[in-house]
Amino acid sequence: MSKPEAVGLSSDRLGRIAPFLQAKYIDTGKLPCAQVQVWRRGQLAYESVQGFADRERGEALRADSLFRIYSMTKPITSLAFMMLVEEGKVALDDPVHRLIPAWRELGVFKAGVPGAFQTTRPDEPMRMIDLLRHTAGLTYGFQQRTNVDAGYRKRQIGDPATEGGLQGMIDQLATLPLEFSPGQAWNYSVATDVVGYLVELISGQPFDAFLKARIFEPLKMVDTGFSVPASQRGRFTNCYALTPTGKVVLQDERETSPYLTEPSLKSGGGGLVSTADDYMRFCRMLLNGGELDGARLVSPKTLALMTLNHLPGGKQLTELSISLFSEAVFEGLGFGLGFAMTVDQARTRTAGSLGEYFWGGAASTAFWVDPVEDLAVVFMTQLMPSTAYPIRRELRTLVYSAFTDSAA
C-alpha cells in the first residue's frame, strides 16, 4: 500500500473514514460490516476492514471476504456487450427484435391487469441502447408502481430459479407489455439481464463462461462468479436487511444461502458475488482506459462512449426517471451504457468531478471511478436496501476531503 501523501492524499484525513464508519454504523448495529478501498494514481492509498462477516457468530470481516454485489454486476455485463459491439457483431442502434423475434410485437401498456392487458403500439422499436441505458420500457417487479410490474411479480421475472434460465426469462417477458414506449422515460429494470442473454446469444457461449473467459480471467478477478465455491464458503458474508421498524435482521444466512449453488438464471443485472480486491481490479481497468496489466478488454474510445450521458435529449436522471428505485440518489446525474455519471457538479451538492461515473448494489455496496483525479473507490457491506442510509454520500465527502492536490 502506498503512503497517501505520495498520491496527493492526506493520511490524517483518510484516517477519519474508519472511525466514522465504526461510530455511526458498526457500533450502532446499522451496518454489519464495512470495507473501503481507495486507489489513486496507480496505488492503493487506503483500505479499512471493519465489523462482522457473521454478526450472529461474532466472526470478523476479512479483507478477502465474499460479498453479494447485486447491481454492481450491471457495469460488468454492459462491458461484455460492448466487447461484442467492438467486434462488429451487434450495434447500439440495432432493434432488439432482430435478435429476439418474439419481442417484435411487444405493446405498450394502456390498461388492464395481469392476464388481461390492453396495449398500444410503441412509437419506436426497442433498440440495444435502450437496454443499456434503462429506457427500454421494462421494469422490476419490486417497483410496485404499476400493473405491469405486478405482472412481473406474478411471473417472478428474473428469479434465479427460473426454469430455462435466461431463455426462460426472455420467453416470460414476451407475454408482458412495456411500461412505456422505448426512449420516452428511464426506469430501473431487468434490461441488463436481457443484455446478459444477448451476450450469450451473440457470442455462442453461456453467459457465465463468456464473463469468465473474456473479463474475469484476463483481469485476474479470481473470486468473482455467480455462486460461492464449496472451498470458499468460509469467506462468504451474511446479508442483513433494515425492517420498516428500523431493526436490522438477518436476510440471507451464508450457511444456507442460495448463492451456495449455481442459479438456473445467471443474472447480468444482479447475480454476481465478488471481493473488494476483485472489483477494484475491474475499476482499475476502467480507470486505465479499458486495460489492466497488459490485458485490454475494450478501447479507450469505447469506454469514453459508455460513460457519456445517453439519456434522450441529454436530460438528467431526475428529469426522465419514472422509477421508484434507483442506485443513484442525488441530482446532477446522467446515465450512460451501464453507469450513472455526474453531468452537473453543482446539482449533486457534493464534492467530486464532472464526468465521474459509478453505480451500486442492493446490499449497499458501491463504487465510483473519477478519471479527472485518477481515483477509484470501492465500498463493500451487506445491508438491504441500499437507500437505508446516506453512507455513499458520506463516503464521497470523506474521500474527497482527504485530497491535498487536485487535477481539476
Distance CA 209, CA 220 (A): 15
Reported in sequence order, the residue ranges of 41-79 that DSSP labels E, i.e. its strands, are 43-54, 59-60, 67-68
* Residue 328, pLDDT score: 84
- pTM, 2 dp: 0.97
% of the chain beyond a pLDDT of 90: 95
Q: pLDDT tens digits for 333-342? A: 999 999 999 9
Cα 162 to Cα 186: distance, rounded to the nearest angstrom? 26
Q: For residue 118, with 0-12 CB atoms within 10 Å meaning exposed, 13-18 middle and 19 or more buried, which class applies? A: exposed
Of 65, 58, 60, give the one whose Cα is nearest residue 37.
65
Rg over CA atoms, the chain: 20
- Domain residue ranges of the chain, discontinuous segments joined by +: 4-67+222-400, 79-203
CA dihedral (328, 333, 335, 339) positive or negative: negative
- pLDDT category, 408, cuts 50, 70, 90? confident
* pLDDT tens column, 2-20: 799 999 999 999 999 999 9
Query: Residue 25 is placed in which grid cell?
Result: 454504523
Model confidence band, residue 330 (pLDDT cutoffs 50, 70, 90): confident
Q: CA 154, CA 157: separation in Å to the nearest integer?
A: 8
Give the contacts of 322 (CB within 8 A, at least 6 positions apart): 145, 179, 180, 185, 186, 187
Residue 4 has what pLDDT?
A: 97
- pLDDT at residue 345 above 90? yes
- For residue 385, cis peptide bond before it (omega within 30 degrees of 0): yes
In the structure grid, which three cell numbers stand for residue 375, read together? Answer: 481515483
Q: What is the rounded distance in angstroms from the CA atom of residue 233 to the CA atom of residue 236?
A: 5
Which 3 state secondary structure label does DSSP give 165?
helix
**Superfamily (CATH H level) for 4-67+222-400:** DD-peptidase/beta-lactamase superfamily (3.40.710.10)
- The mean pLDDT value of the chain amounts to 96
Sheet holding 383-384, edge to edge: 248-252, 239-242, 383-384
Fold identical between 4-67+222-400 and 79-203? yes
Confidence of residue 83 (pLDDT cuts 50, 70, 90): very high
- Give tens-digit pLDDT for 158-209: 999 999 999 999 999 999 999 999 999 999 999 999 999 999 999 999 999 9
Nearest to 398 by CA among 18, 24, 7, 6: 18
The rounded distance, in Å, linking the Cα atoms of 94 and 100 is 11
Per-residue pLDDT, 186: 97
Look at residue 407 in the predicted model and tell me its pLDDT.
85
Whole-angstrom distance, CA of residue 160 vs CA of residue 265: 5
Residue 315, C-alpha cell as written in the block: 436530460
- The residue that leads in pLDDT, 123 or 114, is 123
Could you tell me if 240 and 55 are in contact, meaning their C-beta atoms sit under 8 angstroms apart?
yes
Tell me: the pLDDT tens digits for 32-79? Answer: 999 999 999 999 999 999 999 999 999 999 999 999 999 999 999 999
C-alpha distances (whole Å) from 100 to each of 27, 93, 197, 397 are 50, 15, 10, 44
- Reported CATH class of domain 79-203: alpha beta
Label residue 349 left, alpha or beta by phi (over 0 means left) and psi (-120 to 50 means alpha): left
Residue 215 exposure: Cα atoms within 13 Å on the Cβ side: 30
Q: What is the DSSP letter of 89?
A: S
- Rounded-to-integer distance, Cα 224 and Cα 115, Å: 39
Q: What is the pLDDT of residue 156?
A: 96
Q: What is the pLDDT of residue 280?
A: 98
Q: Residue 98 pLDDT more than 80?
A: yes
Distance of alpha carbon 339 from alpha carbon 336, whole angstroms = 5
